[in-house]
Amino acid sequence: MVRHRVCDEGDIPVGGVRAYKAGGQTVAVFHLDDGFYSTQNDCTHLFASLHKGKMVKGGQIECPHHRTRFDIRTGKVVCWANHPPGVKLLNFLRAKKALRTYPVTVEAGQVFVEI
């Protein structure tokens, strides 16, 4: 794994998310009450950008397109695509798939993601 500096600690407020390039890919970096976390930025359902999604209580991110929700800390699927109702018909083509997560460290006010 290679460590990549993505931002300063103050660049993302608590409860916020931003997308950054690291290791040739785009990652979402989240600032929760208990620290920073990073996942792939593309939703595993139909690849929408998660940094444009809605932060949900309990450390979850909701995809802006079909309301798939993921646990930010683990990448696990909390709720698979369910909106609009017809999207459920596509779910047989797109099986539930967790997000890739990446280790995050903060040193001297700088945030690093390991890819």
Phi and psi of 12, rounded to 5°? -120, 115
Amino acid at residue number 32: L
pTM: 0.90
Mean pLDDT of 49-68: 92
Spatial neighbors of 77 by CB under 8 A, at least 6 apart, are 44, 68, 69, 70, 96, 97, 98
The yes-or-no verdict on residue 89 having pLDDT over 70 is no
CATH number of 3-114: 2.102.10.10
Do strands 60-62 and 69-71 pair parallel, antiparallel, or not at all (unpaired)? antiparallel
The pLDDT of 14-37, averaged and rounded, is: 97
Question: Where in the chain are the domains?
Answer: 3-114
Judge whether residue 93 has pLDDT over 70: no
Nearest to 114 by CA among 102, 106, 99: 102
Q: How far apart are CA 41 and CA 30, in angstroms?
A: 11
pLDDT digits (tens, 9 = 90+) for 2-23: 999 999 999 999 999 999 999 9
Tokens of 70: 């993921």
Cα three-residue angle 26-72-52, rounded to 5 degrees: 50
* Type of residue numbered 84: P
Residues 90-106 have a mean pLDDT of 85
